[in-house]
């Protein structure tokens, strides 16, 4: 296989969740694994074991800083895996926990992370059933890395939320403020002064998702948690997969004033910033009001809003409508908006 210049070596931009990440997964990892790889590039794999339908996912976490206001690397690890399972329509049940520690890491910090993992697992109502621990020499990694894998189950009535269900006319809902996690972490790291007003949105969303599915049923088409690459990358990946144009009303996007101020100062676009407690939901327009009412009753969905819809145009494109009536193309994220955050 002939690789482009960008693919001759691994670079940091391969981990951003944008186009280079897609190239790495599709053209290097999946192509070399061949028929041993059965994934379909969604947050969780859905498959059957005998008569039971299951969802499975895995993720690794390398957060810097490892502690922040409203969370830490342990909370993110549980939330990230639980949310990836829940957006498939499954009920998260069990996780594994892999831990790699750097020699010299303070035991009190390790215990603090473990207690955070326990508290988040209790809130999400999941159990850790297996794990592994490794310790490497000092300076061989950055303090602590975590890996979690998760299993979720589908009931006989649970809808399986997939890209294939999306149709023209479906609405696009965002469940929370965009970009807060990235701005909070970057502000702590660089001393920008926004971290007290812009908190990370890190949260387990499985109970909220279950409430939405109960209300919307089969009219809920697809969900996606807006982590690396943010809303902009997620919508472009959806458009590419379904070959439909997506329209986004930019004036409706839920972005805190302080988050926008920080983004403007840094010269970055909040659409591509990572979130750890925010979803996109695609549903039939006849249930949009019910879904929003349900979300607004949940502490993690009080800022939910409809931001756009799926068009009939058969082109892979995300179009943003400005307040003045003009439009712009919301491009794929190619490199990285910010240094690694999670």
pLDDT in tens, 124-144: 999 999 999 999 999 999 999
pTM equals: 0.90
Q: Do 188 and 51 sit in the same domain of this protein?
A: no
Task: Round to whole Å and give the CA distance between 314 and 239.
Answer: 9
Is residue 31 assigned to a domain? yes
pLDDT of residue 249: 97
Of the candidates 317, 172, 161, the one whose C-alpha atom is nearest the C-alpha of residue 243 is: 317
Is residue 335 assigned to a domain? no
pLDDT of residue 190: 87
Quick check: helix, strand or coil at residue 211? helix
Is the Cα torsion angle 294, 300, 302, 305 positive or negative in sign? negative
Q: Do 283 and 199 sit in the same domain of this protein?
A: yes
59 and 17 Cβ atoms separated by less than 8 Å: no
Q: Do 196 and 253 sit in the same domain of this protein?
A: yes
**Domain carrying residue 248:** 163-329
Long-range contacts of 7-15 (CB under 8 A, 24+ apart): 12/336, 12/339, 12/340, 13/334, 13/335, 13/336, 15/228, 15/336, 15/340
Domain tally for the chain? 3
Instruction: List, in sequence order, every beta strand (DSSP E) within the chain.
Output: 45-49, 52-61, 67-68, 71-72, 91-102, 127-136, 144-153, 171-174, 220-225, 245-249, 279-283, 305-310, 317-321, 327-329
Would you give the DSSP letter of residue 253? -
Cα first-last separation, the chain: 31
Q: Do 22 and 55 sit in the same domain of this protein?
A: no
Q: Do 46 and 33 sit in the same domain of this protein?
A: no
pLDDT of residue 130: 96
pLDDT of residue 47: 83
pLDDT in tens, 103-116: 999 999 999 999 99
β-pairing, 45-49 with 52-61? Answer: antiparallel
Q: Mark the ranges of the chain whose per-residue pLDDT is less than 70.
A: 1-7, 15-18, 39-43, 334-342
Q: Do 184 and 256 sit in the same domain of this protein?
A: yes
Q: Do 201 and 281 sit in the same domain of this protein?
A: yes
pLDDT of residue 339: 53
Task: Round to whole Å and give the CA distance between 342 and 340.
Answer: 6
pLDDT of residue 1: 47
Q: Do 106 and 213 sit in the same domain of this protein?
A: no
Please give the structure tokens belonging to residue 335: 């490199």
Q: Do 50 and 82 sit in the same domain of this protein?
A: yes
């Amino acid at each position: 296989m002939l690789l482009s210049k960008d693919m001759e070596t691994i670079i940091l931009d391969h981990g951003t969740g944008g186009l280079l990440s897609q190239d790495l997964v599709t053209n290097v990892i999946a192509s070399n694994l061949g028929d041993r790889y059965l994934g379909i590039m969604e947050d969780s794999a859905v498959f059957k074991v005998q008569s039971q339908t299951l969802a499975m996912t895995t993720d690794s976490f390398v957060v810097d800083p490892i502690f922040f206001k409203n969370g830490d690397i342990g909370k993110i690890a549980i939330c990230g895996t639980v949310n990836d399972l829940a957006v498939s329509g499954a009920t998260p049940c069990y996780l594994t926990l892999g831990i790699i520690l750097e020699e010299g890491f303070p035991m009190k910090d390790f215990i603090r992370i473990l207690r955070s993992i326990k508290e988040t697992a209790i809130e999400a109502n999941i159990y850790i059933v297996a794990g592994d621990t490794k310790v490497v020499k000092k300076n061989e990694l950055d303090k602590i890395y975590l890996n979690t894998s998760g299993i979720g189950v589908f009931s006989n009535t649970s809808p399986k939320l997939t890209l294939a269900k999306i149709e023209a006319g479906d609405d696009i809902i965002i469940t929370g403020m965009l970009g807060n996690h990235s701005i909070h972490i970057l502000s702590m790291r660089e001393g920008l002064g926004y971290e007290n007003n812009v908190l990370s949105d890190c949260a387990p969303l499985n109970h909220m998702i279950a409430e939405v599915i109960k209300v919307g049923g089969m009219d809920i088409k697809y969900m996606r948690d807006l982590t690396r690459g943010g809303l902009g990358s997620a919508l472009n990946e959806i458009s590419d997969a379904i070959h439909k144009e997506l329209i986004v009303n930019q004036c409706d996007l839920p972005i805190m004033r302080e988050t926008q101020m920080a983004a403007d100062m840094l010269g970055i676009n909040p659409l591509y910033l990572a979130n750890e407690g925010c979803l996109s939901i695609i549903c039939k327009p006849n249930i949009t009001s019910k879904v929003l009412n349900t979300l607004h009753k949940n502490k993690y969905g009080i800022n939910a809003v409809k931001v756009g819809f799926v068009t009939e145009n058969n082109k892979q494109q995300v179009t943003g409508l400005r307040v003045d009536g003009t439009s712009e193309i919301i491009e794929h994220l190619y490199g990285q908006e910010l240094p690694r955050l999670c």
